[in-house]
Amino acid sequence: MTPWNRAELSLRLLAVDPGGLGGLWLRARSGPVRERVVAALAALPLPRRKIHPQIADEQLYGGVDLSATLGAGRVVWQEGVLSRPCAVVLPMAERCPPGLAARLGAVLDAHDGHTLIALDEGAEPEEALPEALTDRLALHVDLDGVALAETAAIEPGSVRVGNPLRALPAAPDAALADLAAVAVRLGIASLRAPLFALRAARAHAALSGRETVATEDLTAAVELVLAPRATRMPAAEDEEPERPEPPEPDASEQEPDEGDRTEESEQELRLPEEILLEAAAAALPRDLLEKLAAGRAPRVVAGASGSGAGRKGNRRGRPLPPRPGRLDGQTRVDLISTLRAAAPWQPVRRKHAATEQRLHVRQGDIRTKRYQEQSDRLLIFVVDASGSAAMTRLAEAKGAVELLLGEAYARRDHVALVAFRGEGAEVLLPPTRSLVQTKRRLAALPGGGGTPLAAGLTAAMELARAAQGRGMTPTLALITDGRANIALDGTANRAQAGEDATRLARAIRAQAIPGLVIDMSPRPQRPLEALAAEMGAPYLALPRADAGRLSKAVSATLDD
């Protein structure tokens, strides 16, 4: 079954049982391929309501209609998106905040007829739908990489069913046990998965006109529900051991009675797990099978790179739901939310008021605006350009920094470059987003002289503190061989140089500046590992890594 066939079948199953299946997780970039699936949603037996990841609670659940209430002199309520059963379409679902995911999850758990269509547009594996929603959506279709020529227009008549609310066909008692066993062997920990698979099998049987669930129905359910959730392939030791063949029945034994024959017929309804496992394996792409065979999850949600810390404020950023507040002359008042909170109490307040004013607002009605601002991230590369580094790994360090600069530019990060050699350090490039200028400065970086590690840490810390004052989130990436021999005062004193570097590493940790220490010497240096511990930063010893592997290791560490 091709990915497009899975998408068509998922829509047909969703038309049969929209509330029982929870919804569809559709992973596809915005384009004509996804639009064909979205256009077919019109055939679902529920009205479609499109929402935004930052939708307010008043729009989601409903509330007081402010203008109608003030005009009528009584409380007039307006319906929200979730006031009646509908098919909720959520674009940019990978940006769904945890609060909205929890609210939608609670609605799906209520089983009141709602279904959710999550349109995941994430381009990278770390951009994923929240787990609170993925666990509650039975169907998952991945159309990423599917060309338009591999698809066809979905006719509404092929999706629409005659009576979607009719009772679903029954399933044998052994079907759920088989699905649960397959889920365990695929590494699926969720208890909802086998229940959703059974629900999908019953919907498939209803779609095929069968009165009971058959083998084809269970196989289709495994492909659509269990296979996308698999985190591993069953190892060889997971297979059941060979059982000894039963002894030949003795001729003198009596024939089983009618009740025994009925029990045997029920046992014959059990579907072998191998058939379901083969169906799950067939639904997985080859590259995913390799990842699963290596024991890795197909999608690991990591911290999103390229963004700084989130800060809540009252002035700028992404709007958040308002909160009760006070009039202190500094916070901004949300006028609409304040009037909406005060509207239900107007008749009572007018009745007991000493004045004839029409609008009465109390302190408890005040609602203040809130925003969340995402600060820019600054990557400060502190590169050792001393003579010892030049003789070992300076060329690889330059290549790795150049690759990391390209990734930072793609994420719209700010980058800065600090080099230390001779008797001091120099800020070769202040925080910038200019990739060309950064590469030019890096290529012209010479090598030679002593290793003033303390001076490099001092310049990097001052640059990071200045960036923090401008609202940025700095991160240090120190690339050195750890052979510090120039003290902070410029004298050639190896012992004093080590003490100065340790003192500055503790100062960086006290300033809560995250960082990374990369040992590029041919052999790991214990003093440099101790310096990383004082700095509170991860330590990476990469003695034989080229520029590509070095940049990948740095990216993986910084994104954790």
pLDDT at position 400, please? 66
Q: Is 346 exposed, middle or buried (0-12, 13-18, 19+ CB in 10 A)?
A: buried
Picking from 113, 128, 160, the residue at the C-terminal end of a domain is 160
Cα→Cα distances 126→71, 143, 305, 538, Å: 49, 17, 9, 21
The answer to the question of residue 264 being in a domain is no
pLDDT in tens, 128-162: 788 889 899 999 888 877 888 888 887 766 666 55
Same domain, 426 and 358: no
pLDDT, greater one: 450 or 232: 450
**What average pLDDT does the chain have?**
76
Sorting pLDDT into bands at 50, 70 and 90, what band is 116?
very high
pLDDT of residue 385: 80
- Mean pLDDT across the stretch 540-555? 67
Burial (0-12, 13-18, 19+ Cβ within 10 Å), 204: buried
The predicted pLDDT at position 241 comes to 42
Average confidence (pLDDT) over 73-84: 85
Distance, in Å, from the CA atom of 19 to the CA atom of 110, rounded to the nearest integer, reads 10
Mean pLDDT, to the nearest integer, of 95-102?
89
Which structural domain range is residue 278 located in? 168-234+271-294
Residue 351 maps to a domain: yes
Asked if 155 and 45 sit in the same domain, the reply is yes
Greater model confidence, 447 or 477: 477
- Do 363 and 405 belong together in one domain? no
Tell which of 374, 389, 406 closes a domain: 374
Q: What CATH code is carried by the domain that includes residue 517? A: 3.40.50.410
Whether residue 101 is found in the same domain as residue 195: no
**Residue at 330 is within a domain:** yes
Phi, psi for 542 (deg, rounded to 5): -125, 75
Tell me, yes or no, whether 528 lies in a domain.
Answer: yes
Domain shared by 142 and 172, yes or no:
no
Residues 472 and 544 in one domain: yes
Within a domain: 44: yes
**pLDDT per residue as tens digits for the range 190-212:** 889 999 999 998 988 888 888 88
Work out how many domains the chain is built from and give that number.
4
Greater confidence (167 vs 23) lies with: 23
pLDDT at 409: 63
Percent of the chain whose predicted confidence (pLDDT) is above 70: 71
> Phi and psi of 420, rounded to 5°?
-125, 130
Least confident of 94-103, 240-249, 534-543: 240-249
Pairing of strands 367-374, 318-324: antiparallel
Lowest mean pLDDT among 31-35, 345-349, 430-434: 430-434
Is 24 in the same domain as 131?
yes
pLDDT range class, residue 32, cuts 50, 70, 90: confident
Domain check: are 370 and 385 in the same one? no
pLDDT at position 430 is 83
The dihedral built from the CA positions of residue 520, 525, 529 and 534, taken in this order, carries a sign that is negative
What does the alpha-carbon distance between residue 56 and residue 100 come to, in Å, rounded to a whole number? 9
Residue 444 and residue 315 in one domain: no
Q: Identify whether 424 is part of a domain.
A: yes
> Are 285 and 314 in the same domain?
no
pLDDT recorded at residue 504: 92
pLDDT tops 90 at residue 506? yes
- On whether both 356 and 319 belong to a single domain, the answer is yes
Residue 261: the pLDDT is: 41
State the Cα–Cα distance between residues 327 and 367, nearest whole angstrom: 9
Last residue of a domain, one of 341, 374, 407: 374
Residue 256 lies in a domain: no
| Same structural domain, 541 and 553 | yes
* Structural domain contains residue 65: no
